[in-house]
Amino acid sequence: MNMVFVFMKTQLKTYLNKYVQFTEQEIDIIFNHLIVENFKKKEFLLPQNAICKRRYFIIEGLVRLFYIDANGVEKTVLFGVENWWITNLDSFVKEIPSEKMIQALENTVVLSITREELEKLYRLVPKLERAFRKITENMLISIQRKDEVFMKKSSRERYSNLIRQIPDFANRVPQYMIASYLGISPEYLSELRKQD
């Protein structure tokens, strides 16, 4: 196995072992069911109206989950960085077309898996299902916290919270996308950034 794959496998192992302890053999089985994919900046992992057929573990890079509203305005729902799983869960589980899109904001390397392969892995490595349950619970808690922050905090506090969660985030993401995620105008975000 070349050094790049060793690095990716080690990164995945470190991540999964935060949730459940896996043996080296189990990690090998999991890794061998994943596909390495490379996406160039601005390339879509999931185009609009496609069925989301994969779950993506981000090895390197940055992506966003977004949709276009009735007025034709892009609305960013979620950003994904290194060591995060991203998918459109609704489309992935129900096998229905996705209104949301996933786009690489930087050149991005992911490990991906289909639903069928994931189900197969759950049978081969039963601990993985428990790990994914915990990962999904954490994701739902994160969404709930985001909603609470958005209801209770000022725009400035929401921006500060986002920057604390993802280091170097402001330098990696275009300002209009951050503004879209925070539900504010790019001009107002510019004012907030000047105050920092």
pLDDT above 80: residue 146: no
Q: Give buried/exposed letters for 66-77 (b at 16+ CB in 10 A, else e).
A: beeeeeeeeebe
pLDDT above 90: residue 28: yes
Is 79 domain-assigned?
yes
Q: What local confidence, expressed as pLDDT, does residue 67 receive?
A: 96
Q: What local confidence, expressed as pLDDT, does residue 53 receive?
A: 97
Is 182 domain-assigned?
no
Is 112 domain-assigned?
yes
pLDDT above 90: residue 114: yes
Cβ contacts of 37 within 8 Å, gap of 6 or more:
45, 56, 109, 110, 111, 112
CA distance 6 to 9: 5
Question: How many structural domains does the chain have?
Answer: 1
pLDDT above 80: residue 169: no
**First and final C-alpha spacing in the chain:** 46
- pTM, whole model, 2 decimals? 0.89
Least confident among 8-22, 46-60, 156-170:
156-170
Is 19 domain-assigned?
yes
The dihedrals phi and psi of 56, each to the nearest 5 degrees, come to: -120, 130
* Residue written as token pair 């786009």: 103
Where residue 47 sits, what CATH number does that domain have?
A: 2.60.120.10
Residue 5: closest CA among 109, 77, 95: 109
Q: What local confidence, expressed as pLDDT, does residue 149 receive?
A: 67
Is 49 domain-assigned?
yes
